[in-house]
Amino acid sequence: MSTEPPGPWVQRPLPAVTAPRTSWSWQITRPAELTSARNDLRAGLADHAGPGGAGEDDVDRLLLAFEELASNGLRHSGAPVQVRVDECGAGWLIDVSDARPDRPPVPAVDRDPAQGGLGLHLIARLSTTVGWVVVGPRKHVWAALLPTA
């Protein structure tokens, strides 16, 4: 997990994923589909060992980051969003892409937490590295997570 305080999301390329051990992907068009996608991901993770040293807390972090990143894509960029999770190397990569490359991720600043809108800060805290990049007509907002063990 990141030990630095969350700040602006940096525009940087997606980490290279060579030969992912397992991948999952969804096209999500409305918030109600997030629960089903999260359940699919949890079931898929339960079907194999996952990255070395990954425990239940790591899976919970992944699922929370997955849902926050996907819901942010729907809320701020519109449907549909493409969501992909790759198990690669020692961890996972979550990639959410949408058709709004003109709308970069902007974390809320100086907002009362009771008003919500802190998803990007939460994702940055849960993740090892975060970023975003425009590739062709799509914006990709991504988070990489490593097990804490």
**CATH number for position 84:** 3.30.565.10
Q: Note the pLDDT tens digit of each residue in 85-137.
A: 999 878 999 999 999 999 988 876 666 655 556 788 889 999 999 999 999 99
The pair of structure tokens assigned to 37 is 């996608």
Identify the bridge partners of residue 141 per DSSP, sorted by sequence position.
Answer: 96, 132
More confident residue, 63 or 55: 63
Give percent of the chain above pLDDT 70.
Answer: 84
What pTM was computed for the model? 0.88
Residue 41 contacts residue 119 (beta carbons within 8 Å)? no
**Domains of the chain: total:** 1
| Within a domain: 8 | no
| Within a domain: 37 | yes
Q: What range defines the domain where residue 122 resides?
A: 22-145
Q: What is the biggest distance separating any 2 CA atoms in the chain, rounded to whole angstroms?
A: 43
Per-residue model confidence (pLDDT) at position 8: 60
| Within a domain: 39 | yes
| Within a domain: 50 | yes
| Within a domain: 6 | no
| Within a domain: 1 | no
| Within a domain: 91 | yes
Q: Note the pLDDT tens digit of each residue in 17-31.
A: 877 789 999 999 999
| Within a domain: 2 | no
SS3 labels along the chain:
CCCCCCCCCCECCCCCCCCCCEEEEEEECCCHHHHHHHHHHHHHHHCCCCCCCCCHHHHHHHHHHHHHHHHHHHHHHCCCEEEEEEEECCEEEEEEEECCCCCCCCCCCCCCHHHCCCHHHHHHHHCCEEEEEEECCEEEEEEEECCCC
